Chains A and B, each alone.
With several copies, the nearest count.
Chain A
Amino acid sequence: MTLLIQDEYPKKLLREDGLRLDGRGLTDLRPIKMEVDVIKNADGSAYIEWGNNKIFASVYGPREVHPHHLAKPDRGILRVFYRMATYSVFERKRPAPGRREKEISLVISECLEPVLFLELYPGTSFEIFIEVIDADGGTRCASTTVAALALADAGIPMRSLVSSCAVGKVDGQLITDLSGIEDKAGDSDMPVAMTWFNDEISLLQFDGKMNQEEMDKSLDMAKDALENVYQMQLEALKKKYIQIQEGI
């Protein structure tokens, strides 16, 4: 049987005053909070609140590959396991990982791999575990962002951080950082991530409808948003090292 309350979406996603339902302007990010070193047992960890998204990431490695046959003699491997808690969404998710979770895991893994020096770690693996405990649109971007932080927290050598954010289209307007409602009821969604060491795009997915001009404009908007996200990541890392220096 269905739940008593339906998960319904509004007809219009932009208000009369041109702002978005949550009061944001078209290119505003939602409030974002990041923190590193939050899971004691992990080699590195981080936590992010991005709007209503709440996500933990922890990193283990370099360590022995299990099962063995996945090990590569000439380089380390990176494995990402993105999961959503059953209670993180409106209608309870089944506990077993679904195809969507596996697909997002792969996307995040391919997006982070370019910043690692895996060739230095033959025969070993790095595992990143990501747990979304509350979801509200844009979890793959927030997860990529927090996973990069967890890698940095683990002290694993990286060419640069990776930052991620979505752009998209609602009611015919291009917007930055879609919320859950904007993602589901909107026209288009395009998660983007950049590897800062080469200023290139390492995650790019798009679903919806855009003409060539809108696509070009979206990529520019994404670049602006990612620079903001990047600064917040740096802040989170700085805060930890200040705390260490201050001996807290």
Chain B
Amino acid sequence: MMDIKRVISTIEKNYIKNNLKKGERIDGRGLWEYRKFKITTNTIASAEGSADVSLGDTKMITGVKYDIGEPFPDLPNKGVCTVMAELLPLASPLFERGPPDEESIELARVVDRGIRHADCIQTQKLCIKEEKAVYILFVDMYVINHGGNMIDCGGVSALGALISSRIPKGEWTEDGPKWTGEYFKGKELINELPLPITFGKISDIIFLDPSLPEELVIDGRITISVTEKEITSIQKSGTATFTREEIKILGEKAFENAKKIRKDLDFWQYANNSN
């Protein structure tokens, strides 16, 4: 969130800032208005599950792959799910080549934490043999176009890819894990649908779902991941500070918006029913 601020002109920035401070957004949205999601699943033949998700101009393609490995010693009967993000230089002149930078690490981590702490995935189902063999699920997010609020888009794309996935079922034999011929379906693995909801802040104005130009001028943002009833993670970033009252209100707004998105997208329709 630092160097990229240079990309749009100072005049443009001031225009966006001044309007925001008056409560007006350059794309005409109200402060508490969310952009539309578009989602298609199972677009990648090589992946076990996948989702192609757009939120306004932001476009992300997420795939699920798996491997079999040893469990962590302290969780001998639980599989593992890891989330990775790549901000492809394809997607924006702001993204540079090279190893993952702070922004992509943050994207992956916030989505990961939302999922992990919501008990989103029934990791005990991802065990083939206690202490010996568990599944490692890789949820890898690739940003194809950056139009702002990658985190919320990432959260939806991760869920879409997981729900649409289909993973070979293994059983333990003397020679190690073997395929039973059947598959797990994503919907059998998913407990809860945690959704990250992100707010931007500039001076004392707070607003929902920042677009890219807005992200370039804000002081900071806060993401609150929620399931139907509980907050499962919070991440504040940038140099904005918040009052306790603001945090409380944003919690309520997060529940409200997540409920609406959950209803609009109707995630379970993307379950992969093929055998």
Contacts and interface: CB of A to CB of B under 8 A. Distances in A.
A58 B248 contact: no
A63 B94 CA distance: 13
Interface residues of A, number: 72
Interface in B73-130: 73-74, 84, 86, 88-93, 96-97, 99-100, 102, 105-106, 109, 113, 116-118
B229 interface: yes
Given A201-B244, A211-B231, A87 B50 contact: yes
Interface string A203-240: 11111111110011001100100000000000000000
Max count, chain A CB within 10 A of own CB: residue among B90, B93, B138, B229: B90
A1 B133 contact: yes
A1 B68 contact: yes
A66 B97 CA distance: 11
B153 interface: no
Contacts of A3: 66-68, 168
Nearest to B176: A1
Interface string B216-237: 0000101000010111111111
B40 interface: no
Interface string A13-38: 00000000000000000000000000
B237 A200 contact: no
Contacts of A156: none
Contact of A204 (B93, B222, B227, B255): B222
A180 to B, nearest CB: 9
B233 A96 contact: no
A5 B100 CA distance: 30
B64 interface: yes
Interface in A177-217: 188, 190, 195, 198-212, 215-216
Contact of A39 (B96, B144, B234): B144
Contacts of B241: 114, 195, 198, 200-202
A4 B247 CA distance: 45
A146 to B, nearest CB: 12
A40 B74 contact: no
23 contacts: A4-B169, A6-B74, A54-B43, A58-B90, A85-B140, A86-B84, A87-B46, A87-B47, A87-B48, A95-B86, A103-B102, A103-B105, A103-B109, A113-B239, A129-B88, A131-B142, A136-B46, A204-B234, A206-B233, A211-B231, A212-B231, A215-B248, A219-B247
Interface of B: 43-48, 50, 57, 59, 61, 63-70, 73-74, 84, 86, 88-93, 96-97, 99-100, 102, 105-106, 109, 113, 116-118, 133, 138, 140, 142, 144-147, 168-170, 176-179, 220, 222, 227, 229-239, 241-244, 247-248, 251-252, 255
Given A81-B89, A134-B46, A223-B244, 15 more contacts: A1-B70, A56-B90, A66-B96, A85-B61, A85-B86, A95-B86, A107-B237, A130-B90, A133-B61, A204-B247, A207-B233, A209-B117, A211-B231, A212-B255, A215-B231
